[in-house]
Amino acid sequence: MAAIRPQKIRQEKLADIAAREALLDRAYGPSRFTKSSQSLRQDRLPASGLSFVAADDGEIVGTVRLWNVRDGAGNDALLLGPLAVAPEHRSNGLGGRLMKHAIAAARMRGHGAILLVGDAPYYERFGFSAAQTGSLAMPGAYEQHRLLGLELRADALAGAQGVISATGRFVSKPDLHEQVAASPRAVKSPTSRAA
């Protein structure tokens, strides 16, 4: 059996996006785009400073992100996900290390609570439970018992209720006209006729 090399957990970079997306495709397949959590991430940027990857000799083998959300009563929180680890790196604690890193970073940045949709037996070890999420709802289809929360600050989920909505910054999409104008193949309209 080959020795497992330690993976470095670091802030996600722009150059990591394609590898992260490929990892998520391998881990979850096309069904990842149909999850209720995805509707809260769609066209949004992750919470500032809270996107992490695990790299093994330059290859992205793990990822976790947190997103800004708010409950129906106006209480801010973070939504964790997706958490993914490459199949060949599972069962060596990398998922747990990513979780602990993300939770610690969110706490250091002063966030009050983290929500996620996942399996309680896995996430309970990090302090997540459904104890304070019973009055919360995700948009779209989900299983209520899988909506879990973790308070980073005392009573941060007290009174949490209503449908969770996204509050993160929108992804800016470059203006199509600017892209066309900047393209080397752009055809410019003639302003006068040649004689």
Residue 170's SS3 state is strand
Given a contact cutoff of 8 angstroms between Cβ atoms, the answer to whether 104 and 152 are in contact is no
Q: What is the pLDDT of residue 189?
A: 36
| Nearest in space to 35 (alpha carbons), one of 118, 102, 95, 132 | 118
Mean residue pLDDT across the chain:
88
| pTM attached to this predicted model | 0.85
User: Are 192 and 101 a contacting pair, CB within 8 Å?
Assistant: no
Q: Helix (H, G, I), strand (E, B), or coil: what is residue 166?
A: strand
pLDDT, one tens digit per residue, over 76-124 is 999 999 999 999 999 899 999 999 999 999 999 999 999 999 999 999 9
Residue 189 CB burial class (10 angstroms; 0-12, 13-18, ≥19): exposed
Has residue 188 got a pLDDT over 50?
A: no
Residue 186 predicted with pLDDT over 80: no
Residues 121-172 have pLDDT tens digits of 999 999 999 999 999 999 999 999 999 999 999 999 999 999 999 999 999 8
CB 100 within 8 A of CB 54: no
Q: Domain-by-domain residue ranges, the chain?
A: 8-182
Contacts of 115 (CB under 8 A, 6+ apart): 69, 77, 78, 79, 80, 133, 136, 147, 148, 149, 150, 164
The CATH architecture annotation of domain 8-182 reads 3-Layer(aba) Sandwich (3.40)
